């Protein structure tokens, strides 16, 4: 059962994390809005559509900012307890360092549960709606959903199961419709890639329909001038970090079955599993700065320390992600290495803490 002191510490963890999260996300949203202004004016994409898109991506931005917010909130709010000698009084009353760490991690558990609910239940759906809003504003003939991409070009309807980075489509179907509204041909291709101003279709199967019957043909590879304007692919492609864990797992299975590169999605899946744990690690990192000479440091110094540690964590995570792709490291290792590194730093710092 949590004591009054425990609830007091937990409340400070939550208050500090929430306020730091509010400030970080507000700043990130401002920069995101500035970035979107570069697309304003394309098709029907106006200032209000850009604002709506940024708002719909806020759940994902909040999810990504939680670990850094926990670190900053812990340093600032718990730092105030240390600066006011409240933590020293708790220690004099018999509260051990282990008990204090336990209370801080209890507060972190509440943050983590909210983070997981937001990242897995709210963010993917909101991100998909934002993606669809932006896509539809660019061109009303385009639509992207959980069942793939749909586009219309004159008398043709194009469907692809997946839009992949690098101007590529997977499992493409092109339905051609005659003047009378009847389907005249159906073309299927395992893959499609855009280069040198045209699309290359691989593993093509085509069925031509007429009153005389169905005529089938197969082609290993062919070039077509018109399929889908490549300028839209940057909008349509869903980045791995924007997908929920279960969606990533299903998509990885799909890519493997079709012998496509699943590396980035596997790393993103493992990052989804390790990201909540990194919130606890960030809180652990904050605790050593609450005792000894560090407790006398001002809020500005603690803020600087938090920003440096937060940026370091993000940089290490990105470096390990790229190294994992370049050197073919196991995805779980590339994703979890930053977590284990900063956990080791936190444990060593806690072991040397002098209260």
Give tens-digit pLDDT for 137-176.
766 555 555 556 777 766 788 888 777 766 778 888 888 8
The domain tally of the chain equals 2
The whole-chain average pLDDT of the chain stands at 82
**SS3 for 194?**
strand
Instruction: Give the pLDDT band of residue 305 (cuts 50, 70, 90).
Output: confident
**pLDDT value at residue 214:** 82
Residues 149 and 129 in one domain: no
Residue 283 inside a domain? The answer is yes
Cα 37 to Cα 226: distance, rounded to the nearest angstrom = 29
Cα 215 to Cα 61: distance, rounded to the nearest angstrom = 51
Phi and psi at residue 183, in whole multiples of 5°? -70, 125
Distances (CA, A) of 178 to 174, 227, 313: 13, 17, 57
157: containing domain: 143-228
pLDDT(111) > 90: yes
Residue 233 inside a domain? The answer is no
**SS3 for 216?**
strand
With the C-alpha atoms ordered 125, 128, 133, 134, is the resulting torsion angle positive or negative? positive
Residue 91 inside a domain? The answer is yes
Residue 112 inside a domain? The answer is yes
Nearest to 191 by CA among 179, 205, 183, 201: 201
Residues 346 and 207 in one domain: no
Q: Name residue, tokens 């493997």.
A: 256
Tens-digit pLDDT profile for residues 192-206: 888 888 889 999 999
Q: Which of 209, 228, 247 is the last residue of a domain?
A: 228
Instruction: Give the pLDDT band of residue 130 (cuts 50, 70, 90).
Output: confident
Q: Is 322 exposed, middle or buried (0-12, 13-18, 19+ CB in 10 A)?
A: exposed
Cα 298 to Cα 339: distance, rounded to the nearest angstrom = 28
Residues 152 and 299 in one domain: no
Instruction: Give the pLDDT band of residue 237 (cuts 50, 70, 90).
Output: low
Of 35-49, 117-131, 143-157, 170-184, the poorest mean pLDDT is in: 143-157
């Amino acid at each position: 059962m949590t004591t009054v002191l425990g609830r007091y510490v937990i409340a400070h963890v939550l208050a500090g994390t929430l306020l730091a999260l509010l400030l970080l996300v507000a700043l990130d949203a401002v920069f995101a809005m500035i970035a979107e202004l570069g697309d304003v004016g394309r098709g029907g994409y106006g200032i209000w559509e850009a604002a709506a898109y940024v708002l719909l991506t806020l759940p994902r931005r909040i999810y990504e900012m939680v670990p850094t917010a926990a670190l900053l909130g812990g340093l600032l709010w718990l730092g105030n307890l240390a600066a006011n000698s409240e933590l020293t009084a708790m220690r004099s009353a018999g509260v051990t360092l282990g008990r204090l760490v336990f209370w801080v991690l209890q507060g972190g558990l509440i943050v983590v549960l909210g983070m997981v609910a937001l990242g897995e239940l709210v963010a993917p759906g909101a991100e998909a709606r934002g993606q669809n809003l932006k896509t539809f504003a660019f061109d009303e003939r385009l639509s992207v959903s959980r069942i793939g991409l749909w586009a219309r070009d004159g008398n043709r309807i194009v469907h692809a199961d997946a839009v992949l980075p690098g101007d590529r489509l997977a499992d493409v179907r092109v339905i051609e419709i005659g003047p009378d509204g009847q389907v005249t041909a159906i073309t299927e291709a395992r893959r499609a890639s855009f280069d040198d101003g045209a699309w290359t279709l691989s593993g093509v199967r085509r069925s031509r329909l007429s009153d005389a019957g169905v005529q089938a043909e197969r082609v290993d590879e062919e070039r077509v001038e018109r399929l889908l304007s490549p300028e839209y692919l940057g909008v349509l492609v869903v980045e791995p970090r924007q997908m929920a864990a279960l969606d990533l797992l299903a998509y990885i299975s799909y890519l493997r079955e079709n012998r496509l590169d699943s590396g980035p999605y596997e790393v993103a899946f493992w990052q989804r599993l390790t990201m909540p744990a990194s919130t606890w690690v960030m809180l652990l990192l904050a605790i050593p700065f609450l005792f000894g000479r560090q407790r006398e440091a001002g809020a500005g110094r603690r803020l600087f320390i938090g920003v440096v540690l937060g940026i370091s964590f993000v940089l290490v995570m990105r470096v390990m992600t790229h190294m994992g792709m370049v050197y073919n490291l196991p995805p779980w290792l590339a994703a979890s290495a930053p977590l284990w590194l900063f956990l080791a730093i936190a444990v060593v710092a806690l072991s040397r803490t002098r209260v």
